[in-house]
Structure 1
Amino acid sequence: MKLTKINKAVTVALAVGVVALTGCEKNTSAPEHVTTQKTQATAARQQSESLFEEYAKMRAQQVSNVNYHLQVTLDNTSESFSGVTDIVFDLTNDNQNDLTIDFDEGTVSSVKVNGKEVTFNYEKWFITIPKSELSAGKNTVTVAYERPYSTDGSGLHRFVDPENGEVYLYTDFEPYDANRLFPHFDQPDLKATYSMKVTAPDHWKVITSVRENKIEESGDNNVWHFPESAKFSSYIFSLHAGNYAVWEDKFEDIPLRLFARQSLAEYVNTDEWFTPTKQSFKFFNDYFGVRYPFVKYDQIVAPDFNAGAMENVAAVTFNEGYISRGEKSTRAKMSLANVIAHEMAHMWFGNLVTMRWWNGLWLNESFATYMANLEVAEASDFKNNWDVFYSGTKQWAYRSDDSVNTHAIELPVPSTGDALTNFDGITYGKGASVLKQLPYYLGEENFRVGVSNYLKKFSYKNTELEDFIGELGKAADMDMEQWTQDWLYNAGLNTIKVNYQCDADKITEMNIVQSAPDDYPTLREQRVQVGLYQLDGENMALANAIPVMYKGESTKVSDAIGQACPDIVYPNEGDWGFVKVDLDEKSLAAVEQHINAVESATMRLMLWQSLSDSVRDANLAADKFVNFAIANIEGEQDYNVIRKISASLTTAMGYLNTATRLEKQDYSALYQDVENLYLRLLEKAPAGSDLQKMWYGRYVSFSKSDKHLKNLLAILQGERSYEGLTIDQDKRWGILAQLNRYQYGNYVALLDSEKEQDNSDTGVKNAIYAEVVRPEADVKKKWFDVVINNPENLKLSTLRYIMWGLFPTEQSTLEAPYKERILAHIPKLNDGSDLGLLGAFASSMIPSECTAESEAELAKLIEEYKSMKPQVLKTVKARHQNVGRCIKALKLL
């Protein structure tokens, strides 16, 4: 899973024709194009850092039955590594094309075909072997090469621990970076087996998809031998090496290992890892009806990792953010359990059965997201997981689907360079939400059986969307063609509203009315529950939940006729559906009067979300929401609801801060009211509770007045404390960032002192951020020049900290002198091949302000950037839309 990643992208919606889903079986014993065509079109490969789908289809006609034998030599001093790869494969009898082998920006010293050195061409991104050097049938191509280690978290990444000088290596390949480790055919539908020999320093551990079967001593090195693996796509192959600390456990007959850097070992709580791992194994083995196929299971916590985690076969990589240097909240432990389950679900769905091309990435990620949440809800130690899903993943989906960058779930992906532009709230959130409603639509057991049949039928093969949908349809005996077209091939978010009438306190008529945006007019069918709530004394209780399959513009709710006239009607009770809800006026009035009386925490969560959406949509003034939240938050007891209120409160205050800064109206007093509220709630929170941890975090990030910055300084210096709350090193960095941001106290000396105490990688990055965020012109110049002129001297993970801190919203005057240089730098990055840096720079650095002038500038920029890569265009379009929303929100004040 690439969650971009947990901080966790874009596409242009493309027109897609209707796909007929017949559910018919097809021959999948080899990639679809290998045996079905007797002739091939000749094709010259485009010079590009990306692999294009049309070329990949042609190459899959050339090549089959692939096996890789890898030799890799690593050390702990060089900035490059070397290797020899034997590629064994069958070549079609009617091959009409030269053969290309993917290999990104290395040095190739020799290429042999069947033992004989041959003429070849290598131009930066791939090796070309003339067709005359190859013969039909089995071939072995041997490539000797060298390549620099990566510093951007992709390919084979090298990290030097600043605390002890230890070197750690790990790989991250999705979608098209495996060829930064070894030359090969880097496309998902050319599955292969892998055997490997790795030479590495003798105190290192080496990890890949299988366990070693022999380790030989060789001077100061060891030579690790790894036997042939199962057959899978190269983007989920892996190589990790270094002096990792290791912990071991077992689930039934499956060996489990956990790895982390030595300097983080003291902070690793193995129960937080192994317990959810075992729970997930039991659940998935039972649910899928297919035993875990890859024998062993390792989890490696890696430094500088760009995503949340990645599902490498039997060797999953995790971000070090999942190791806390202090006590974790239940929410943080739950998040880790969810990610563990997500990556494990991929072992079946994605690794055992794999999409043919990257247009299927959404299904890979959506399915793992849904299944992880299902596992946590049904088989873990955690409660109320679907409330967490609703307030997090699903809201990400709603925001994405309600944005200018919305797109269909299923989209063409012309090249690997476009693949990650679909890593967004549609790919993960909407896809998972749509899958979540399928068990209600098809029946839970029908859905499970369809999934199980799909995995059994297509094990170790590649599939298209119709293969998956076909198995679901057959299990439920339903025609899924219209559903697929409406939900997967059409973009947009629908809204439903209940119209009803009562007479003599009984419902006499009720209809669900569905609408769609003008730009995306599709009306959909799905199954929801209409919740009828009655006020009984001081309790607003659910009187009835009526299941309804609605479709079209209007659907009659027959089972509501004769029911008692409700105080609140909510047409997505229990959150079955993926849809926006427009409350009727009576229900809205009842919510405003009795929100804390609503019996169901899930219902309160959804109602608060509706109010927050109203602020975002400029239908409710931000100051009214803030005052309403202040009046009601202390009456709420549920952690998830409180978290939602506080997040929405902080967002609404963002609009009011903007109004104050632009001198439209002064909301400073209201801001201080919220600061005081957060402090009061921190002081009232039970010692050691999740609420205490949450309110502490909110309070620190929100404090900016002298009174509260003074309080933060007292906490930092140990002069003020809260029972049950430990101020660990990471909390100290949070305070220091705030003191530097607002130049409070002796902030420079405090930062210098803290840097001496914490020279860890996390400490180095936090120290840089705390300096960068200072509102000082010389600091901005120093770090801006680093980003623009010398980015190669720092890792991408460090550059991100700099860019996040350079120009906070309130520092727009300091940003102004750099505006032209920022905009001039984007085309330069766009012309390069570093998509990670391009995306990070665009999302962090493009200037914007909540003014009509800024809105016009961004609109002009959209036109100028139309031909740029999606990482840029999407960011500018989203920024333009958000500025427009902000302007509308300020007009309500």
Structure 2
Amino acid sequence: MFINKSQLTKALTLALVTSGIALSGCEQASTTTQVKNSSSASTSIVRMKSESLNATYAEMRAKQISDVSYDLHVKIDNKSESFSGSTTLNFELIENNQNDVTIDFDEGTIKSLTVNGKQVNFSYEKWFITIPAAELTPGKQSIIIDYERAYSTDGSGFHRFVDPKNGEVYLYTDFEPYDANRLFPHFDQPDLKASYKIEVTAPAHWQIISATRETSISENGDTKVWSFPASAKFSSYVFSLHAGNYAVWEDDFEGMTLRLFARQSLAEYVKTDEWFIPTKQSFAFFNKYFDVKYPFGKYDQIVAPDFNAGAMENVAAVTFSEGYIARGEKSTSARMSLANVIAHEMAHMWFGDLVTMRWWNGLWLNESFATYMANLAIAEASDFENNWDVFYSGTKQWAYRTDDSVNTHAIELPVASTGVALSNFDGITYGKGASVLKQLPYYLGEENFRVGVSTYLKKFSYQNTDLEDFIGELGKAAGKDMTQWTQDWLFNAGLNTIKVNYQCSEGKISEFAIKQTAPEGYPTLREQRVQIGLYNVNADGNAMSLTSATPIMYKGATTKIKEVIGQVCPDLVYPNEADWGYVKVDLDEKSLASAQKHINAIDNATMRLMLWQSLSDSVRDANLAADQLVNFAMANIEGETDYNVTRKIASTLTSALNYLTVATRLEQNDYSVLYMEVEDLYLDLLEKAEAGSDFQKLWYSRYVRVSKTAKHLDNLKNILNGELSFDGITIDQDKRWSLVAKMNRYQHGNYQALLTSEATKDITDSGVKSAIYAEVLRPEAEVKAKWFNVVINNPDKLKLSTLRYIMWGLFPSEQQALEAPYKAKILAHIPKLNEGSDLGLLESFAGSMLPSQCTPASEVELAQLIKEYSEMKPQVLKAVKASHQNIGRCVKALTLLKLSANNT
């Protein structure tokens, strides 16, 4: 599954509108009572009622049951809000079994159940079926279950979507980590791999897609029956079923048909080259790199509505968010992002689908590996450039921020249940793990790493593995004992910092050492291979260039570096040149001064990128006043020529500007004039940008995002009305909605009429959600009451994807006075949701709706909430902890900002 950092704060589809409030966290308590030792399946274990599957119980069941296959019959239509099916579960039951057999099935209706052709006693506990051990005999079992179930409306399980534009119904599945049992009854855990044979009865005009290609389609009145052969063995969370009147496009890769599916009402916006070119490039790269030919025979990609993540690696039928289909022109970075996601999901076909983790503690390796391999494929086999700079700015910073947060955790850690697993889709699981894997080719050697991966895939095909299986093959290939590396990097949390300490004599380096530190509470010091980059200003003083890049290994608190002794005394030292390592860099004073003086003169774009990141970190860590960075960024942004670096400066400027906005709102100091200068700057950069260029797209989006004063809101209104235009920028429907949202958020112009007009013109799903969002943003008490009531009292009337738009828009930061009357109700509602089983709604509500302000009082309140919510699910607790830490950082940043203002 692909979840990038921006998707933790808002859905891809919301990227085209203007505001979001951070999402967070997850958790689930232990749900198994163990009567004796769980290591044996002959030991009695009672499964407790829960929406999650417990690791201890799953471990027992994996010993209890083997040789699993499913024969599925599903009947679906375009009218009902529920579906029916029949599942035959074939498996082997061990001798001396003392445990009941439980079959996972979430909140459906059991019409009949037979075991080996006989009626038996069974019970159904809302989340699973229990067949008593006394009703079963060892050996081969054939259990047939006829059932009904309502479709899902939260983007998980078997989701139903009705296209508001044409009434067409679309169905798709999304199962990770524990939602396949919302389609059919079965053993829903990754280490009970099975083969799947499925027959689907559906409306005659629909397309049906699953893990294999259909062998026959037969007419049956106004329906058709699609028959799919038995698949290879794989875990149920990567099985899939997609159905509806999808538009389909075809291409070919070395004789294998590639297919792409999307809703009919989006077909006109699909640019197939954006999909098929990177698909074929990635196939060519992975087949060669892994030395294992793609194992699943066919490859489909389905673009699905209401999808919760970026994409999901269903075997041979990958699902993507509709956010990757734009109703206008994409920037190069947007097309690159899509190519990266395509490669990510394809990497999973080998690493995750062919070879699968045994339990969800291995989620990180599954996702980290796909993240790293996708970036490697884009860097080496695509049409895009500078991918590792994009990785550094995005994925790696997500990792650093998560690792530097109160919610950090070890990469490899116990996972008590599937509910806990759901909470681990974060910057550690994806970003840190991928960054750690990225350093391994430097540590072990690139070819040793590749051979180890290839051997692992060949050795464990169609099996489940543990961490030591993977690390063991890497160590064998490199001839290196990986025990200490594994302990330091995978089992211990925390982000280290390095800083150089050096002396020069007669213009040459005479002493040089790297000092490594660890954060309080996470004392591990690590060994890592990095490069020491030495930079010097030229004789004219107008350029700074890399003098040397020296690979070295450091470990412990202090490492003396002999390799650079005698080199020319540098103007700037960067001890992670080219970003080999995973570490935070604290620049020495001379290097920091040189960076600030010569930042645009450094001829290495990656170096400039990392220096700007260091400056951004300094503001976040309250070591640099936000106003100083805003002024520095404004002075240097126009002189930057690299697109990725410019994006970093713009994001850095925006983040620092947010602190000034908060300070102004809290009447600490008035930064309104400086804010307007940034608005003016972005408009100026937009007007100067080359027509149709990525820079122009960047400055347009930044200008719209930052504009909030009357002068610039007038400009946005004129853009919407066609009275102001920029050659090269087309104001497509999604851009129109971002402008309408701005007008409504700040009650500017004829904002109500603009919303009504736009909603009438755009009756698509995206249009409906955008219209709701724009209305919700209005700073009007009656609007807040209307939509708050929907979220609290009538959430079942809307899909979760729509509810998220409401929650994101209800209380923007400047509308905290309107939020105040609802504070007690929000805090009272969180425990109620925590008692339920809807983890998706719980996570969205706790992450989006938690009241907070950048004040010491709010920091104290959140600290108290951490205590009150300490026993709640991690979806709640992580959200509160993150909010508390972010408010603490904000308070410190504002304190430094106040000192800066007083000293000016």
**Shorter-chain TM-score range:** over 0.9
Asked whether the equivalents of residues 12 and 407 of structure 1 are also in contact (C-alpha less than 8 Å), the reply is no
2:870 counterpart SS class: coil
Equivalent position amino acid for 2:487 in 1 = Q
Q: Are residue 752 (structure 1) and residue 753 (structure 2) matched?
A: no
More deviation in 512-521 or 603-612? 512-521
Alpha-carbon distance change, 39 to 430 in structure 1, aligned in 2, over 3 angstroms: closer
Shift of residue 336, structure 1, vs aligned partner: 0.1
Paired position in structure 1 for 2:744: 740
Moved over 2 A (4+): 8-14, 36-39
Which residue is equivalent to 2:434?
432
The equivalent residue for 2:635 is: 631
**Any residues of structure 2 matched to 1:808-819 within 5 Å, and which?**
808-819=812-823
Matched, 1:660 2:660: no
- In the TM superposition, residue 559 of structure 1 has moved relative to its aligned partner by 1.3
Task: State the one-letter code of the partner of 2:682.
Answer: Y
| 8 A Cα contact 2:211 2:239, kept in partner | yes
2:803 alignment partner in structure 1 = 799
Q: CA deviation at 1:4?
A: 6.8
Q: Which residue of 1 aligns with 2:845?
A: 841
Answering whether residue 279 of structure 2 is matched by residue 277 of structure 1, we say: yes
| Residues 755 and 764 in structure 1, CA contact (< 8 A), matched pair in contact too | yes
1:179 corresponds to which letter in structure 2?
Answer: N
Aligned partners of 2:338 and 2:367: how far apart in 1? 17
Of 823, 827, 830, the residue aligned with 2:827 is 823
Among 708, 721, 725, the residue aligned to 1:721? 725
Q: Does residue 236 of the first structure (1) align with residue 238 of the second (2)?
A: yes
TM-score (norm 2): 0.96
1:337-377: per-residue Cα shift (whole Å, max 9, x none)? 00000000000000000000000000000000000000000
Q: Matched residues in 2 for 1:198 and 1:709: separation?
A: 53
Deviation for aligned residue 1:134: 1.5
Please, which of 675, 679, 688 is the counterpart of residue 684 of structure 1? 688
Identity of aligned residues (%): 73
Amino acid in structure 2 at the alignment position of 1:383: E
What is the identity, as a one-letter code, of the residue corresponding to 2:427?
Answer: G
Specify the code of the residue in structure 2 equivalent to 1:857: E
Q: 2:21 maps to which residue?
A: none
How far 1:10 sits from its partner (Å)?
A: 4.0
Q: Distance in 2 between matches of 1:187 and 1:2?
A: 20
Structure 2 counterpart of 1:173: 175
Q: CA deviation at 1:588?
A: 0.5
Quote the residue 2:702 is aligned against. Answer: 698
Cα distance in 1, alignment partners of residues 28 and 79 from structure 2: 47
Q: Which runs of 5+ in 2 are unaligned?
A: 9-23, 30-37, 898-904
Paired amino acid for 1:822: I
Shift, 1:579, TM fit: 0.2
Paired residues for 1:431-830 under 5 Å: 431-536=433-538, 537=540, 538-830=542-834
Say if 1:633 and 1:319 are closer, same or farther in 2 by CA, change over 3 A. Answer: same
Amino acid at match of 1:205: Q
In the TM superposition, 1:288-327 aligns within 5 A as: 288-327=290-329
Name the counterpart of 2:80. Answer: 78
- Relative distance call for 1:417 and 1:182 in structure 2 (3 A) is same
User: Structure 1 residues 419, 827: CA separation in 2 closer, same or farther (over 3 Å shift)?
Assistant: same
Corresponding residue for 2:403? 401
Q: Is the 1:155–1:181 Cα contact (8 Å) retained in structure 2?
A: yes
Q: For residues 225-261 of structure 1, give each alpha carbon's deviation from its aligned partner in whole angstroms, at most 9, with x where no partner exists.
A: 0000010000000000000000011100221100000
How do residues 142-221 of structure 1 correspond to structure 2 at under 5 angstroms? 142-221=144-223
The 1-side partners of 2:726 and 2:154 are apart by 40
CA RMSD of aligned residues (A): 1.2
CA separation in 2, counterparts of 1:161 and 1:330?
29
Shift in CA distance, 426/764, structure 1 to aligned 2, threshold 3 Å: same
Deviations 1:150-182 (A, max 9, x none): 000010000000000000000000000000000
Three-state SS of the structure 2 residue aligned to 1:422 is: coil
Amino acid at match of 2:832: K
Question: 119-128 or 268-277: which moved more?
Answer: 119-128
Contact kept, 8 Å, 1:12 with 1:405, in 2: the verdict is no
Return the letter of the residue paired with 1:619. Answer: N
Does the Cα contact within 8 Å between 1:843 and 1:875 map onto a contact in 2? yes
Contact persistence 1:13–1:406 (CA under 8 A): no
Instruction: Provide the residue aligned with 2:260 in structure 1.
Output: 258
Which position in structure 2 is the counterpart of 1:17? none
CA shift digits 1:565-587 (9 cap, x unpaired) = 00000000000000000000000
In the superposition, relative to structure 1, how do residues 776 and 37 fare at CA in structure 2: closer, same or farther (>3 Å)?
closer
Structure 1 residue 37, shift from structure 2 partner: 7.8
TM-score, normalisation: structure 1: 0.97
Deviation at 1:86, TM superposition (A): 0.3
Cα 1:71/1:673, change in 2 over 3 Å: same
Residue 556 of structure 1: how far off its partner (Å)? 1.3
CA distance in 2, matches of 1:64, 1:291: 27
Q: Secondary structure at the match of 2:275?
A: helix
Q: Which amino acid aligns with 2:303?
A: V
Following the alignment from structure 2 to structure 1, what is the Cα–Cα distance between the partners of residues 493 and 353?
28
Q: Which amino acid aligns with 1:242?
A: G
Amino acid at match of 2:156: S
In 2: Cα distance, 1:11 partner to 1:193 partner:
31
- Counterpart in 2 of 1:7? 7
CA contact (8 A) 2:262 2:303 kept: yes
Q: 1:867 aligned to 2:871?
A: yes
Residue 119 of structure 1: SS of its match in structure 2? coil
Decide whether aligned partners of structure 1 residues 443 and 437 sit closer, same or farther in structure 2, where only a CA change above 3 A counts.
Answer: same
Number of aligned positions between the proteins = 872
Aligned equivalents of 1:514 and 1:544: distance in 2? 22
**C-alpha offsets along residues 742-797 of structure 1, whole Å, 9 cap, x if unaligned?**
10000000100000110000000000000000111010000000000000000000
Aligned to 2:389: 387
Contact 2:190–2:358, Cα closer than 8 Å, also in 1? yes
* AA at the equivalent of 2:55: E
Preserved CA contact (<8 Å) 2:41 2:61: no
Query: Greater relative contact order: 1 or 2 (C-alpha under 8 angstroms, separation 6 or more)?
Result: 2
For 1:530, what is the secondary structure of its paired residue?
strand
SS in structure 2 of the partner of residue 892 of structure 1 = helix
1:112 to 111, 114, 117: 114
Equivalent position amino acid for 1:208 in 2: S
Give, in whole Å, the separation in 2 of the partners of 1:186 and 1:38.
20
- SS in structure 2 opposite 1:549? strand
Q: What per-residue deviation string (whole Å, max 9, x for no partner) do you get for residues 294-331 of structure 1?
A: 00000000000000000000000000000000000000
- Name the residue aligned to 2:902: none
CA contact (8 A) 1:678 1:698 kept: yes
Q: Is the 8 Å Cα contact of residues 515 and 553 (structure 1) preserved in structure 2?
A: yes
Answer whether contact 1:66 1:192 (CA < 8 A) is retained.
yes
